[in-house]
A and B are shown apart, each in its own frame.
Chain A
C-alpha cells in the first residue's frame, strides 16, 4: 500500500516551542532554517510505492519499510545504498538528479527518484 505524505516543516507553522523536539535529528534540524519537504517512499509486499513528485535538492526522503522482508534502496550509480530492515524508517537528503535504484536482495524491485 502506497502512502505518500509531504510535510512542510517550518517554524512559521509549528512555532518556536516545538523546535527542540525536532533538533535531535539532523534531517529535521535543517528545517529550522528553511522550509523543507519530507517525501515518504513506502515499501510493502515486495514493491516500492510510487515515487514522490516535486522533490527538490535538499528535501528529505523518508524510506519506510512496511514489508516483512529486509530490503535495500541501492542506487545504480552507487550514490546511495540504504539498508531497510523490516519496520525500519530511514531518512536521507535528496540530491539533484535522476537516480535509478533497486533492492539488492530482490533486484526486480526498482524505482527512479527524481529531484530538481
Chain B
C-alpha cells in the first residue's frame, strides 16, 4: 500500500467511525478507547507480519536488521497493549479503520510476495516509510487526542515516538537501497 492509500484508509476509516458515533450518541467521543486500542494493535500487528515476510525473503543485511527491529519493537508495544487492556477490563473493539488497514496490508503483502531480491528490498523499505508516516499522522492527529484513558494515552504517546524513530530508520534504509 502506498503512502496516499494508507492515509486514505486511515482518513476514511476514522471519518466513518466519527460519523457512526455522531448519529448514535452525539455527546460521546468520535472514537472510543476500545476502538483506538484495536486500531493501534492492528497497525503494530501489520508491521510485525511485514517484518516476518522480510526476514523470510530478504538477504540484505540492513533490511534484515531493520525487519528484526520492527518485529521486536512492535511486538513489545502490542504485548503491552494487551496487558493494559486486560488490566483495564477493556476488550479492543474491531472497527472499520482496523478492517481497512488489515485489508490494505494483506494486499500489500501479496504484492511484495511476488517480488524478490533488490526489487523486494526497495519495495519493502518504501512501504515501511509510507506505513509509518501514515500511522504516525493518525496517532498524533486523531487517536492520541481522542484517547480518554491516561495509561492508554501514555502508551500511544510512546508508540508515537517509536513510529517516528522507525520512520526515520525506514527513510535511511530506503535511501541506502536506491
The segment from A24-32, A90-98, A103-111 found at the interface with B is: A103-111
Residue contact A68 to B77, C-beta cutoff 8 Å:
yes
CA distance A29 to B11 in the complex (A): 59
CA distance A108 to B158 in the complex (A): 13
Least CB separation from A86: chain B residue: B76
Q: Looking at chain B, what size class is its interface with the partner chain?
A: 10 to 19
Establish whether residues B164 and A69, one from each chain, have CB atoms under 8 Å apart when the complex forms: no
The answer to whether A107 touches B168 (Cβ under 8 A) is yes
Q: State the main secondary structure of chain A at its contact with B.
A: loop
CB <8 Å contact, B76 and A108:
no
Q: Which of A45, A69, A108 contacts B73 (CB 8 A)?
A: A69
Report the Cα distance A70→B73, complex, angstroms.
8
Given known contacts A105-B69, A107-B168, A108-B168, A46 and B161 CB-to-CB distance under 8 angstroms: yes
Q: Which residues of A contact B79 (CB under 8 A)?
A: 68
Most buried by B among A47, A69, A86, A108: A69
Tell me the bound Cα distance from A47 to B169 in angstroms.
Answer: 17
- Count contacts on A: residues with CB < 8 A to the other chain: 12
Cα-based distance from A105 to B80 in the complex (angstroms)? 19
Let me know if B158 and A46 touch, CB within 8 A. Answer: yes
- Contact among B76, B77, B80, B162 with A106 in the assembled complex (CB-CB below 8 Å): B162
Known: A68-B77, A69-B73. A45 touches B158 (CB 8 A): yes
Nearest CB of B to A2, in Å: 15
B82 to chain A, nearest CB (A): 12
30 residue pairs from A and B, CB less than 8 Å apart: A45-B154, A45-B157, A45-B158, A45-B161, A46-B158, A46-B161, A46-B162, A68-B77, A68-B79, A68-B80, A68-B158, A69-B72, A69-B73, A69-B76, A69-B162, A70-B72, A105-B69, A105-B73, A105-B165, A106-B162, A106-B165, A106-B169, A107-B165, A107-B168, A107-B169, A108-B161, A108-B164, A108-B165, A108-B168, A109-B165
